[in-house]
Amino acid sequence: MKEIDWSNLSFGYMPTDYNVRINYRNGAWGELEISSSEYINIHMAATCLHYGQESFEGLKAFRGKDGKVRIFRMEENAKRMQLSCQGIMMAELPVERFEEAITKVVQLNERFVPPYGSGASLYIRPLLIGTGAEVGVKPAKEYMFLVLVTPVGPYFKTGFKPSPYAILRHYDRVAPLGTGRYKIGGNYAASLMAGEEAHRLGYSAVLYLDAKEKKYIDECGPANFFGIRGNSYITPKSDSILPSITNKSLMVLAEDLGMTVECRPVPVEELSTFEEAGACGTAAVISPVGKIDDLDENKSYIFSKDGEAGPVCTKLYNKLMAIQCGDEPDTHNWVTVL
């Protein structure tokens, strides 16, 4: 095998040795299957292809200083995938089966877990799709759960630096009573145009507002949003936000650090009162927000004047990363050591 240049990995797909699959047929989940093929063979009338019965997850495994592999909060991903399955009427995989599959696929691909200190990690992508053939609009009778892994590089090539976000009111990611709280491909297809427009205008992502009134902050496409004011960690509460496990963890860590956590509707104007802001998710942990341009109202909210991340974002980021790779004690029982 060619040596992998761990410190120059991108956040992209690289083939690994194995993936694992579990099929749902005749009302029951079958045995775990190990595959070395990067392809799946499904019926052309599968509901995932026509009617969007598709849900996914994202989590990571890290190598610690002790050489051991650690998986972060996989039970939370298992439970969230069950909620997504309820949301789009797919068969739910039991939490234990999910954990069995994740553990197995990481063990099988252990040589792709990047070394401690490289900043890289093994990204784990579970996928659950309707594979049964239907032509009428109804849930499939057959499903496939699949987990692939791929090593990914440090999210921040140039260091932990703030980036610009845009508010664009002519796009919504999800509907007010729609599917925003489920982690499903359909929400991502619906966000591509807005994301591309933001990139074209020089922003790293869109900050979405609530679709009904456009008064409150929702989230940033693939990441939740939070603001820091004084000793408070403030993050929006809304039924159309995807409940981020990173955000959930940061709220706990903020409390551990003696901060007050507020999870409530956050009006757009409140942005002007934040000293720091961040987008959070598995890929980056925290992506500091340098500024938010409200392109419709011609307003800018600035959170970083010197191009550096703020002290609270930096502290939270370092703390969560240290727990994930085992440098700090796992006092909340978040980590599974293989």
Ligand X SMILES: *Cc1c(COP(=O)(O)O)cnc(C)c1O
**Binding positions for ligand X, rule: CB under 6 A:** 58, 183, 219, 222-224, 242, 244-247, 281-282
Residue 11: CB minimum distance to ligand X, A: 13
- The DSSP code sequence of 73-135 is -HHHHHHHHHHHHHHTT-PPPPHHHHHHHHHHHHHHTGGGSPPTTSS-EEEEEEEEEE-SB-S
Q: Which is nearer to ligand X, 194 or 245 (CB)?
A: 245
Query: What's the closest the beta carbon of residue 306 comes to ligand X, in angstroms?
Result: 27
Residue 336, SS3 per DSSP? strand
Q: Which two tokens stand for residue 157?
A: 């090539």
- Nearest distance in Å: CB 93, ligand X: 17
Give the separation between CA 3 and CA 151, rounded to whole angstroms.
Answer: 13
With contact defined as beta carbons under 8 Å apart, do 288 and 309 qualify?
Answer: yes
How far is it, in rounded angstroms, from Cα 146 to Cα 43? 16
Angle between helices 74-87 and 95-108 (to 10 degrees): 120
CB of 102 to ligand X, least distance (A): 14
CA distance 184 to 89: 12
With helix as H, strand as E and coil as C, how does 106-121 read? HHHCHHHCCCCCCCCE
Q: Are strands 205-206 and 143-152 parallel, antiparallel or unpaired?
A: unpaired
> Which residue shows structure tokens 């800018």?
300
Judged by beta carbon, residue 82 or residue 247, the one nearer ligand X is: 247
Q: Which residue has the tokens 């069995």?
A: 100
CB of 26 to ligand X, least distance (A): 31
Q: How far is the CB of 27 from ligand X (least distance, A)?
A: 29
* 58 versus 139: smaller Cβ distance to ligand X: 58
Measured CA to CA, the distance from residue 296 to residue 285 in angstroms comes to 29
Q: Which is nearer to ligand X, 81 or 91 (CB)?
A: 81
Give CA–CA dist 46/97, Å, rounded. Answer: 23
C-beta of 71 vs 134, nearer to ligand X? 71
Number of H helices, E strands in the chain: 7, 17
Nearer to ligand X, 23 or 163 (CB): 163
- Minimum CB separation from ligand X for residue 255, in Å? 17
Task: Report yes or no: 128 and 20 within 8 Å, Cβ to Cβ.
Answer: no
Residues forming the active site: 183
Nearer to ligand X, 134 or 211 (CB): 211
Q: Where are the alpha helices (DSSP H) in 121-261?
A: 185-189, 192-200, 245-256
